[in-house]
Every structure is written in C-alpha cells, then in structure tokens.
A and B are shown apart, each in its own frame.
Chain A
C-alpha cells in the first residue's frame, strides 16, 4: 500500500508517559481486549519501577491465571513477575511491583450501603429491597459506579504509584464516568420527592408530568400486580440520610477524573465498527470536558514480510505460489485495518497519543505475554 501523509501524526508520536500518571482508566467497546491492554499497561509500568495496582472487571480465565488471580479475588493480590526485569527505582530499596484484583460490583455496593446507612435497620431495609437487589446485581451502570468507588478506595493508598483501571464494556464512554452523578441525581431528584411523598400531601407542588408519572406507575402496578411503586418509594426513602456520603464520594471521583495525573485511555481494535465507536467515545468525552490522553489500538497486524524475498527463496514453485497468496491475503486484511486507522488519525483529539498494540497471533496467557504487549506498544 502506498505510504500516506499523516500531517497530524508528528504531534502524537510521544507515547503515554506512565511514570507521570497516578491513574489510568481504560475505556472502550466490548471485545477489543480492554482487560488485556489494562494488564499490559500495568505490567509495563511495574517494569518501569512503579508500584502498580490493576483492577480488572471480567478477565478471561487465562488472564486470571497469568495474573495469579482466583476467580473471586476482590482484594489486591501480589502478581509474581517471574522472569521479568523489574528495576530498583532511584537506587533505593523500592522496586516495581504489581498487584491485581477483580471488581465485584455487588459486594462493593453492599459495603458502601453498610458504610453510609444511618442504622442497621436502614441498611437491612436497603439490602432486602427488591429494587436494590435487581439494581445492584445485573443492571448496567451499577458496575460502573462501583468501579469508581473502588477506584477512590484504592487510590487513597499512598504506597501505590499508579492505579490502572479496566472498565465494564460500555456502549457509551460517558456511562462509566458519569455513573456517580447519575446515581446521585436519582437519589436527590424530584423522583425522590415524587415517590417519597405521602399521597396528596405535596400534590400541589408537583408538576403535571410528575402526577402523570405516578399515575402511570400506579396503573402499571394495577395491571401487573407488581406493587413496584411502593418498592421504589421505600428504596428511595431508605437512602434518606445517605445522600451526604454519596455526594462527597461522587465529588471526589469527579475531581480525580479531571486530575492532571489521570489519563483516560480509549482501547479499540482496527475494525471499522470499533473505530467508529471509539470516535464516538472521544467526542462524548470531549463534550463532557474530559481529555483523552491516549488511544490504544489493539491487535494491529505487524508489518508484512517483503514479497521480494520469495522470488529468490530456494523452495518449490507451488509453495512459492501459496506463500504469495498467503501474503496477498494478509495484505488485504492489513489494508482493511489501514483504512480504519486513517479514519482514526483524522479525528484524533489534540494532545492525545495514538498507540498500537501488536497482534501476537495468539492469546496472551502469561505475564511474559503481557510484558511483550506492554513493551511493544508503539506510537501509531
């Protein structure tokens, strides 16, 4: 393929400086290898001598093995960096180290409720509530919020230089970063007034739409026999008094996200649909006033071998033909990647680094694989 001009490229060739960060958040669509890239960045930082914690969301079993994590490790576990050079830093006794943990959204949510509930009865009322139980289990958004909570907890540890955070797959980048605010708004909104108000008492203060919303819920309850209205009402009510605690946490999370030493990293692959999603993420983040520090394109095909090598190679003509065809096939795939990558380069935000992680041609299974990916991250 003809080499192209990338006028913007020179501005972005500086890779992400992991030393300068205290928090790296990896965001991206599902199926792009976010967890792998998070772990590879963490291993890389540990190799550079940082004390690193990496929090993963849904790691593949092999990745769990590589990190030495049990399936339910929700507390940090020291990762054995066997055979990987980890320098001593600044001549001192401190060495790079890596700890890993898995996010357990349900357990984290429960512990926050326990922390902020004003009484044991209030705590139990929430934990037993049907809405809470479905909300804290599967519902999208809760995992986001909980990752944010755990982030604050982990980043409070002064012995850790860098926290690398893997996030749940999102359809919208902002879902994750916006989670604390959304939960707060739910608790502090007119919904609370609407649902908490005893019948009739505040009716005059409610707008027509609120009355209608309540009417719909009531109708829905009648039709369904669910009695959800009272559940929602008691859910919102039982959070009464916890608002302060949540509010303070959310404000701190927002502050942390916008910190100078926080890097938001978008992970994608070179597939056109994923690149399109990554571009949407970037736009949404910029819209929210958040800066994207780097974009990591995972599984970028390596440079292809030279076709000219084949003509002089001492092999059978039939094999030569096959090798030529194989080369042409992968060249087509590489061309497909290049088309999408060009589109990405066009829309790269100012100051963001573009980095490529190699397609190893196999799935990462060991710390050494992760180290290889981390080492081979290159400017795109």
Chain B
C-alpha cells in the first residue's frame, strides 16, 4: 500500500509509542530518506535512534535518517520573531512574565503554530520524496493538538488564521499526506483508548488511521494440553498462563479491530533486559513486512 508522507504515531502512555516511532523511522529510512520529528518533551524516540536532537534543528543519524525535536514553545518564539523583527525586543518580550501569562490566556496558539509547522514539513517531504514520522504526544494530548485547527476556525471566522486553519484541516484530512498510527498493548484500557482515538480523529477531523499497533504481544508457547500438564507446577503454571492469556487477548482484540475495519499489526514482546538498537531492528523488520509490504 502507499503510505502517507506523514505518519503521526500516538497511543496511550506506556504502550511503546516512542519505540514504535523510532523502529518505524528506521524501517522507512531503508526505503526512502526519512525524518523523525520528536514532539515529546523527553525526546525518547530521538534518544532511541541515537540522536540528541536540538530544538528545530535537524540532526543527521544516518545518510537517510534525520531527527528533529519540535516544541510548541519554539514555534511560538519563531512566530513572535517574525512579527517583531527587532531581536532585542522580541527576546526580552519572550522572557517577560507578562507575555507568558498573555500567551497562556491565548489557548491553543502554540499548538496551532506547531501544527502549521508539521503541515509545512509535510509539504516539504512530498516535494523531496521523503517520509516524516512524528513521535506525537500521548493520545489525549494528541487529539487536543490535532483539534486545535478546527477550534481556531470556530473562533476566527475570517482572515489569515482562518485560511491557515483551512489548509491545516485539508492537510490532516488528506490520506495521501497524513495518517495516524495508534499504539496499544493487550490491555483493556489501552485498547479502548486506541479505538476512541481512531474514532475521534476520523469523525472530528477526517484523519485516517493507517494502522493500530498491538505492541508487546508474546508468541504463543503452550497449547491447551500443555497448559493443563503444567497446572501442578504452581509459579511456572501461572507464568505459562500469563503468557498465553496476553497472546490470546491480543488475538481477540485484533479480530475486533479487523471487524471494525481498522488494520492492526501485531508487534512481538521483546523479552530482553533493555530496548536497544537490536530490538529496534527486530521491530523494524516486522513493520517492514507487515506495514510496508502489505
């Protein structure tokens, strides 16, 4: 299938969102030049691919993979510097507490500027035949972020901002340019949040979910008779049941998602003491086979 230029990776906290974003960026960069944009304050996706990304400046990780860190605050600063071209004044203004309160009272301005920046980067990616993978905030905040442009349209009935909001809206709703990837684990809460997120962004913003990622799925090790045979073994039996239960829960959810018309990819649990380059490589290979080649 053809993937959109921009892949927006979100999911409930703790479902491996940054790991999936990093593995996806690595896998995509084998096919085409790719940029990984880290919107997470903690920069964990950037750290996973081995980059300490600075604000707004792309860092080259390999010949075909760049990493850039974006923050709403930096976008606001860039915006102010455009409006107030005298550096000394714009700098002092940004530092002033007064201005902090004023921007706090202008809800969504920073987020709006961040979305506009993503739209521009998306256009650039199309022009240069690149992919853009975004390690977005966790789903609650991500939905807020994506909804900002439609919110702005509601309160700014005319003018430049309205036109910007329009173009952001059509960018987000264009399945060739923008798509979401939603991570989850085989747990009720994570699954429910993934379903809700997919439904909300589709209904409210027309955003297509490219795939849901069922992360941390252990392979099925025991069949029913083996499970029965382990039952006198106490702790070992519980551990075997636990592994199988997680696998079966994942399979069940994936069937539900398939019924709901939401493509879902299962990613293996990494039974290793750390998530490092080797684990990303493995996840990347799975993504390559199940997402890029399908």
Contacts and interface: CB of A to CB of B under 8 A. Distances in A.
B4 interface: no
Interface stretch (B53-61, B170-178, B186-194, B282-290): B186-194
A30 B159 CA distance: 38
Interface stretch (B21-29, B206-214, B267-275): B267-275
A213 B99 contact: yes
Interface string A307-343: 0011001011001001101111110110110010000
B157 A332 contact: no
Interface in A121-154: 130-131, 134-135, 138-141
A215 B118 CA distance: 27
Contacts of B96: 207, 209-210, 213
A305 B14 contact: no
Nearest to B107: A134
Contacts, number: 188
A73 interface: no
A61 B43 CA distance: 31
Given A171-B41, A213-B96, A191 B102 contact: yes
Contacts of B151: 134
A327 B101 contact: no
B83 interface: yes
The range of chain B's interface size is: 35 or more
Contact of A271 (B14, B80, B84, B234): B14
Interface string A359-377: 0011100000000000000
Contact of B161 (A182, A219, A226, A236): A226
A215 B84 contact: yes
A31 B161 contact: no
B105 interface: yes
B189 A60 contact: yes
A20 interface: no
B14 A274 contact: yes
Interface of A: 29-32, 60-62, 130-131, 134-135, 138-141, 169, 171, 182, 185-186, 189-191, 194-195, 207-210, 212-213, 215-217, 219-220, 223-226, 228, 232, 235-236, 269, 271-274, 276-277, 304-306, 309-310, 313, 315-316, 319, 322-323, 325-330, 332-333, 335-336, 339, 361-363
Interface of B: 12-15, 18, 41-42, 44, 80, 83-84, 89-90, 92-93, 95-99, 101-102, 104-108, 138, 140-141, 144, 151, 155-162, 187-189, 192, 218, 221-222, 226, 229-230, 232-236, 238-240, 242-243, 245, 271-274
Which 3 pairs between the two chains have the least Cβ-Cβ distance? Answer: A31-B13, A305-B235, A225-B159
